[in-house]
Amino acid sequence: MMISRGEESEPVLNLKDLFYDEVVVNNAVKNQVHEIPHKAKHDNFKLLSDIQNVLINCRHLTSKDKLLYCQSQRYFMKQYLREINKRE
């Protein structure tokens, strides 16, 4: 037979804060959440432009190296376009 002690706090009962929304008082947190997608767009675009600069300016690249750079450029272009096309 198990005896229940109502006055003692069990660790499972203390987890209730994880399951309920907290009231956000500070608007800075909300702004940071909205800035994350914009930062991802900017970062992907920066990588695209950096890769393009390497492809244009580095004459010592072999055809295989250029192909690898083009494949990575294609990947980041897809990521960038995915972020652009997301509905906010």
| Cβ pair 17, 38 in contact under 8 A | no
pTM > 0.95: yes or no: no
Looking at the structure of the chain, the number of domains it has is: 1
Q: Domain range for residue 46? A: 38-88
pLDDT exceeds cutoff 70 at 55: yes
Q: Domain for residue 27, yes or no?
A: no
| Cβ pair 40, 83 in contact under 8 A | yes
Residue with tokens 């990575």: 72
Which residue has better confidence, 88 or 80? 80
Q: Domain for residue 29, yes or no?
A: no
Which residue has better confidence, 8 or 81? 81
pLDDT exceeds cutoff 60 at 10: no
How does the average pLDDT of the chain come out, rounded?
75
Q: Domain for residue 84, yes or no?
A: yes
pLDDT exceeds cutoff 50 at 1: no
Q: Domain for residue 23, yes or no?
A: no
The model's confidence at residue 18, banded by pLDDT at 50, 70 and 90, is low
